Structure 1
Amino acid sequence: MRFRFPRTLDLGLDRGKSSDVDGPESAAGQRETTLASHEIREKEAAVAGDSDTGDSGSEKVDADAQRGVQLAEAVTEVWTRRDLILAYVLIWIIEFVLGFSSGIVGTLTPYVTSSFAMHSLTATTGIISSLIGGIFKLPFAKIMDIWGRPQAFILMIASITLGLIMMAGCNNVKTYCAAQVFYNLGYYGIDFALTIFIADTSKLRNRSFMIAFASSPWLAVTWCYGPAANSVLDTMGFRWGFGIWSIILPITCAPLCLLFLRNQRKAIKLGLIPPRPSRGTPFQTFIYYCREFDVIGLLLISAGLALFLLSFSLYSYQKDEWRSPLIICFIIFGGLLMIAFGLYEKYLAPVTFIPWTLLRNRTVIFTYIMAASIYLAWYIWDAYFFSLCIVLFRQSITQASYIGNIYTVGSTFWALVIGVAIRFNGRIKRYALFFGVPMTILGVGLMVHFRQPNVNIGYIVMTQIFIAFGGGTLVICEQMSVMAVSRHQNIPAVLAMEAMVANIGSSVGLAIASAMWTGIFPKKLAENLPASAQADLATIYGDLTVQASYPPGSPTRDAIDKSYGQTQRLMLITATCLYSITLVSTLFWEDIDVKNMKQRTKGLI
């Protein structure tokens, strides 16, 4: 689709006024309309004063856009600055509660499966629910575009609440797995909806900071949820640990929902949106929504992704692993369905998920390649990082957890710094190319040397800080690059596709890490273990507790440490080489200046 010149605001207001005059009932409605009109005129004057920066939009509501996009564009015309500041405060609170609850839910999961004497299914339930939650972003992006942002947000609140209620009341692991699916759908959906709201209401030059601001609760959440989960288990038990969040989360989200709906109603009342056309009979309405949702395309890509990603997650549960007929079928048919999705979108789809011209944009293509390479390399080196801290560096579980959280805290903090920097110098490519990627490569490359026996743990902490600063830069620049080159109505789709690509990279990275570990570590143990410990090789290989139980300085512990170092060295070299893809793909981005480029939507913050 191409942009069309929008209707003038005056025409929209004329329609709103005439509808009020026709009935005798609404003096209050007229006052509300007049007040809202005055607010819009004030905002237009403020934006006009900013026009020299190139950050104002020349259009208001895209007449060709889908209904949800039209609502979002119209609502930006009626937001007051007070309401918008309130909305961002509520977003911060919601993200804090969401992160806090997710940490507790993740901590309690092993205790739930153990209570049903099925602890071994802990990983399986997580794999299935996370996979579905990740893939759901694709159809969820369509829901937001067609039905509207508030409606989609409310749907996700209902999903996460239902999941928590099912967790609290489950009596078997199957019910708990289903509950995790609903929970993850809601969790990923709420987080995604808040990101899209930020994209709808922020200027490009400020958007990176606002996205970082919304993520900043993790600076506190990271340290809070562990003690809270222990307290829950020691007092009320896991059922109330879930149940209390089924009350807190919807209450926390309710004010933002009401704020969304209030401003959406105001925009509709002002006539800023063309009336919803009749879809004809119920069957015609059904066909219309199937076409607008791109149902065939979404089925193809969702089924293809599910099969392809499940193969990487479930191969270790098969007797023949990668040679299993089931895994081979998953990979082949998953790949074919994803290819079919591309062909269908290009040649047959009446309404495409993402315009084909956008998928040919070099910045979009190479951002997706960059995202895949980042997550691919990350999971190769990070998959056994916790075990490394426990065994090789003699850290306690608590200390190892703190070291593992350096990335979360450091990247969240640094994203705020980068957001401020982009506000004043909008060349996002330069931040990624000359700082983000080099810092990441430096951190991972240094670990090739430092992840060895007899190295002080302080050096590992240093490398994690480097990687955190690099990652905080890349995550922000990665999202900003695809949003800057996209039309407003395509932003949910391009971000959903980015999440899909990241999921693929993560799954492949975990599979490579697992294959390298299972192929290299036992061989190195066989080479390094003293003759007295050779009989225990299988036990040592398979049990982290056994590995850490041998006293430091003993021949067996030295052999285990040496095997860890040799295996990790190869995994780190592999990851460092893969980051070269990240560097090259970033090099091919357009040199976009989000500070001065003309914005496709009128952001208010």
Structure 2
Amino acid sequence: MADIPTSSGLAEHADRHDRKEKDGGPSDSSSILSTSAASESSAQAGVKRLEATTSTWSKKSLLIAYFSVYLMAFITSLEQQVTIGLSAFATSAFSTHSLLATILVVQSVVLSVVKPPMSKIADVFGRLEAFTICIFLYVIGYIMQAGSNNVRTYASAAIFYSAGQTGLQILQQIFVADTSNLLNRALVSTIPDIPFLINVWVGPEVTQSVLSGPGWRWGYGVWTIVLPVAFIPLALSLFLNQRKASRQGLLPPSPFAGYSVKQSLTNLWYELDFFGLILLSAAIALILIPLTLASRASGGWSNASIIAMIVIGIACLVVFPFWERSTKLAPHAFFPKDLFTKVTVLAGVAIAFFYFMAFYLSVFPYFYSYLLVVHGQSVTTAGRITQTFTFTSTVTSIIISFIIKYTKHYKYFITLGGAIYTVGIGLMLRYRTIGASTGTLVGCQIAVGIGGGMLNVPAQLGVQASAKHQQVAAATAIFLTILEIGGAVGSSISGAIWTNNLLPKLQAYLPPETQVNATDIYGSVVVASTGWPMGDPTRDAINRAYQETMTKLLIVAVCVSLPILPLSLFMKNYKLDQASSVTDIDQHVKGTVIGGDISQAETREGEAIRNGSAVPETTQTAQPTSFLGKLRRKLVCVVVGDGAVGKTCLLISYTTNKFPSEYVPTVFDNYAVTVMIGDEPYTLGLFDTAGQEDYDRLRPLSYPQTDVFLVCFSVTSPASFENVREKWFPEVHHHCPGVPCLIVGTQTDLRDDTAVREKLAKQKMQPVRKEDGERMAKELGAVKYVECSALTQYKLKDVFDEAIVAALEPPSTGKGSKGKSKGSKCLIL
């Protein structure tokens, strides 16, 4: 993997460039700067829309957006604290308390499978559009839950609600990653968790008031009103600043522009990886849900439907990675392949899996019911004890995030947190007795919460630090998806243990006179906790059955939490304020962001032009906050030429100093770098186009406002060279007469390749020579002929130096610029 050059790395690159010039002749271009671009080469439209938005909005807009994010987090956290207590009573109202785990599995499956497509929707369409979809799903889910009359409707509603909830969760984290630099991200990512510090205590009180007042249905229905209201400031901030970016010409074209409905649907199928979503959803659902249903099915595990579900689920799970690996079938896979080559990512997601799996075997979902029944706690007290974990983990994560900001390291907190987390669950097992005091129960939850708070946020940060900006949404989705899959597995196992142990134990321990009530006690926590007083033989039997079942859950939870500690040792201890060749960190967030001041890692100074006459001294930087508010001029460079001649590689190699590892055909793509010319900032927009005939009608959509064209051919393809004369120059000058053009020969590293020469010789051809390119440039009236190699970066920088020179000082004569006045742009009417 190529590294991002530091200032010293750029100097070495310049020296290498000079040595090659001595070997190959003097440079024909003025040297401006070689550096990595602010934007990611493979960024999809939604990412670019957000980058354009953050480049235009003010600090006030950013604060309004974060206020709205906090407000939504406050409302959703209060809702979770309230409804967590309502769910036991809602299912008991349908006499199906034992199905609580099954409903949680359904929710966990939805929580798992929605995150990847929601992150893809955010990348393809935009953050605003994705947020809006989530709010809609959330509202629909709670309307259905509030009006449900049976467990089927209640469970179906949970699908919509969970989709909206998990979508908001990941979008909040993606928004934080979009609008904060890596050093501040751990701290900023705790903003959605801060409301838990208040609501963890308020929630149980509200739950008690709802149950004793209007009833549990109102406890679900009220959120359908307040959440959309909280979303309005964020929606307006994103919408208005997108319009501002559009007026400034910063928004990329729609990825579906110029397509028919059928083509758009086909592109959407691949962009969102729909079949991959189906495989993943089916695998998770069909494997996990039967674990909680088998005991209730006719014939148990030998039931044909249960067996079929598991077999099909396993088959989908086996097929899924092969589908995702195919660049033809899944060109925009959920999980970027290179992420899974990084040990930090693998260890981080494994930690997330075991962390949440252990949580759903210990703290949730049956510990609350255990407190109500075995310890006779009130709804309020039981809620406060179980939510001690949430409060403690939130406080711990905030403190740890502050420490990470100033120590600039994260790994050691995961290791220590993993150890404390396991010890905390072990203490829950040790003090699970009926006689344990309330203080002891709370102390155990504090220990588990401290461990969870120390490892969760840093583990997510480590996974994000391993990703590029375009991959941050995918990396976040991977982490949170595996987290939820761990929760789903934990819920399935806890549900299986609960359903296969509690009822048989009740039937074994209940006195003969209450044996007939075993099913009712099993099905309703209300009956179990209030039907008989403490000390009654029936209550003692109920408590014993609950106690022994909870013990089994906690034993499994301790075993599941053990791998967290060794896994943390495999994570790389990144120094979070570095984004250079010394590290693997490759992230550049753009525009007004949290912690977005210029730093050494983000600003590279360039050298003056050697000739000194064409352009003033220039520097190129990632787009920092200090430039915002100034009038920024924009130069637009469009790259055209036959397909497969290396146009995309040319741009990626220039903007990232990395050569792409695989070929992905381009329809439209764009990149941006900021160039300081004197004291004035310029945005150099680089637009990639498709060379295939299928896009002849679509391609000119990228031509308006062009300042300079790069007409490319491969020196190993004489046909592409002839097409410069036959197709590309006529097309460019038809749409944009007078706009300066450079002819660019690519893939010069292959000109003397033996295999290439032998292949061409069989066709009685040879590679295109430099003098042939210069002759064509003179005949066609191009500004200049330049050639380069994207692979070796030989004279790569010179190509774009010449393009900037041509854009700023366009020629006044010549066939390619006849009648053109300085500063004119391409217009298509």
For residue 125 of structure 2, what is the aligned residue in structure 1? 147
Structure 1 residue 492 corresponds to structure 2 residue 473: yes
TM-score under structure 1 length normalisation: 0.80
Equivalent position to 2:485, from 495, 501, 504: 504
Aligned-partner Cα distance in 2 for 1:193–1:503: 15
| Structure-2 change in CA distance of 1:580 and 1:171 (3 Å) | closer
| Structure-2 change in CA distance of 1:463 and 1:114 (3 Å) | closer
Contact 2:45 2:124 in 1 (8 A): yes
Q: 1:75-105 CA distances to partner (integer Å, 9 max, x unpaired)? A: 2322322222222122111111222334455
> For 1:190-339, what aligned pairs fall within 5 Å after superposition?
190-232=168-210, 244-276=222-254, 278-339=257-318
Contact 1:312 1:507 in 2 (8 A): no
Moved more, 441-450 or 178-187: 178-187
Equivalent position to 2:38, from 60, 66, 69: 60
Aligned-partner Cα distance in 2 for 1:449–1:126: 27
> For 1:129-144, what aligned pairs fall within 5 Å after superposition?
131-144=109-122
Q: CA deviation at 1:168?
A: 5.6
What letter matches 1:602 in structure 2? V
What letter matches 2:403 in structure 1? A
Q: 1:180-217 CA distances to partner (integer Å, 9 max, x unpaired)? A: 43333222222221211011001111111111122111
Equivalent position to 2:352, from 371, 383, 391: 371
Contact 2:361 2:553 in 1 (8 A): yes
Task: Point out where structure 2 has 5 or more consecutive residues left out of the alignment.
Answer: 6-34, 581-585, 595-829
For residue 419 of structure 1, what is the aligned residue in structure 2? 401
Contact 1:367 1:482 in 2 (8 A): yes
Contact 1:313 1:507 in 2 (8 A): no
For residue 324 of structure 2, what is the aligned residue in structure 1? 345
Aligned-partner Cα distance in 1 for 2:396–2:251: 40
For residue 624 of structure 2, what is the aligned residue in structure 1? none
Q: 1:206-243 CA distances to partner (integer Å, 9 max, x unpaired)? A: 11111112211112222334443554566666666655
| Structure-2 change in CA distance of 1:446 and 1:179 (3 Å) | closer
Say which SS state the counterpart of residue 56 (structure 2) adopts: coil
What letter matches 2:136 in structure 1? A
Moved more, 163-172 or 345-354: 163-172
What letter matches 1:83 in structure 2? S
Contact 1:61 1:74 in 2 (8 A): no
Contact 1:139 1:298 in 2 (8 A): yes
Aligned-partner Cα distance in 2 for 1:112–1:396: 17
| Structure-2 change in CA distance of 1:228 and 1:592 (3 Å) | same
What letter matches 2:269 in structure 1? C
Structure 1 residue 70 corresponds to structure 2 residue 57: no
Q: 1:47-66 CA distances to partner (integer Å, 9 max, x unpaired)? A: xxxxxxxxxx9533334311
Q: 1:291-313 CA distances to partner (integer Å, 9 max, x unpaired)? A: 22222222221222222232234
Q: 1:509-532 CA distances to partner (integer Å, 9 max, x unpaired)? A: 2333344455666787799x6998
Q: 1:478-510 CA distances to partner (integer Å, 9 max, x unpaired)? A: 211111101122222222233332233223223
| Structure-2 change in CA distance of 1:417 and 1:334 (3 Å) | same
Equivalent position to 2:435, from 451, 454, 463: 454
Q: 1:130-152 CA distances to partner (integer Å, 9 max, x unpaired)? A: 53344222211111110001111
Aligned-partner Cα distance in 2 for 1:134–1:329: 22
Say which SS state the counterpart of residue 130 (structure 2) adopts: helix
| Structure-2 change in CA distance of 1:442 and 1:116 (3 Å) | closer
Q: 1:148-199 CA distances to partner (integer Å, 9 max, x unpaired)? A: 0111111222222334445566677665555443333222222221211011
For residue 54 of structure 1, what is the aligned residue in structure 2? none
For residue 472 of structure 1, what is the aligned residue in structure 2? 453
Say which SS state the counterpart of residue 280 (structure 1) adopts: coil
| Structure-2 change in CA distance of 1:139 and 1:495 (3 Å) | same
- Greater share of residues in helix: 1
Aligned-partner Cα distance in 2 for 1:577–1:168: 38
Structure 1 residue 405 corresponds to structure 2 residue 405: no
Contact 1:306 1:334 in 2 (8 A): yes
For residue 25 of structure 1, what is the aligned residue in structure 2? none
For residue 38 of structure 1, what is the aligned residue in structure 2? none
For residue 588 of structure 2, what is the aligned residue in structure 1? 601
Contact 2:73 2:193 in 1 (8 A): yes
Aligned-partner Cα distance in 2 for 1:101–1:530: 37
Say which SS state the counterpart of residue 461 (structure 1) adopts: helix
Contact 1:138 1:496 in 2 (8 A): yes
Moved more, 137-146 or 84-93: 84-93
Aligned-partner Cα distance in 2 for 1:100–1:378: 20
Aligned-partner Cα distance in 2 for 1:236–1:566: 36
What letter matches 1:499 in structure 2? L
Say which SS state the counterpart of residue 405 (structure 1) adopts: helix
Moved more, 474-483 or 58-67: 58-67
Q: CA deviation at 1:69?
A: 1.1
Aligned-partner Cα distance in 1 for 2:50–2:521: 55
Aligned-partner Cα distance in 2 for 1:121–1:525: 17
What letter matches 1:484 in structure 2? A
Moved more, 498-507 or 401-410: 498-507
Aligned-partner Cα distance in 2 for 1:124–1:171: 18
Aligned-partner Cα distance in 1 for 2:549–2:504: 10
| Structure-2 change in CA distance of 1:429 and 1:533 (3 Å) | farther
Greater RCO between the two (CA within 8 Å, min separation 6)?
A: 1
Equivalent position to 1:584, from 552, 563, 566: 566
For residue 41 of structure 1, what is the aligned residue in structure 2? none
Q: CA deviation at 1:549?
A: 6.4
Structure 1 residue 430 corresponds to structure 2 residue 417: no
| Residues paired across the two proteins, number | 552
Aligned-partner Cα distance in 1 for 2:498–2:224: 40
Q: CA deviation at 1:377?
A: 2.2
Q: 1:235-270 CA distances to partner (integer Å, 9 max, x unpaired)? A: 666666655433322222111101011222223333
Kindly, what percent of the aligned residue pairs are identical? Answer: 33
Contact 1:452 1:562 in 2 (8 A): no
For residue 761 of structure 2, what is the aligned residue in structure 1? none
Contact 1:70 1:273 in 2 (8 A): yes
What letter matches 1:422 in structure 2? I
Greater Rg by CA: 2
| Structure-2 change in CA distance of 1:68 and 1:229 (3 Å) | same
- Greater share of residues in strand: 2
Aligned-partner Cα distance in 2 for 1:63–1:430: 33
Contact 2:295 2:499 in 1 (8 A): no
Moved more, 98-107 or 309-318: 98-107
Aligned-partner Cα distance in 1 for 2:286–2:42: 35
Q: CA deviation at 1:111?
A: 7.0
Contact 1:540 1:547 in 2 (8 A): no
For residue 360 of structure 1, what is the aligned residue in structure 2? 341
Contact 1:60 1:74 in 2 (8 A): no
| Structure-2 change in CA distance of 1:491 and 1:323 (3 Å) | farther
Contact 2:528 2:542 in 1 (8 A): no
Contact 1:204 1:595 in 2 (8 A): yes
Task: Kindly report the root-mean-square deviation, in angstroms, between the aligned alpha carbons of the 2 structures.
Answer: 3.7
Aligned-partner Cα distance in 2 for 1:291–1:526: 54
For residue 97 of structure 1, what is the aligned residue in structure 2? 75
What letter matches 2:371 in structure 1? C
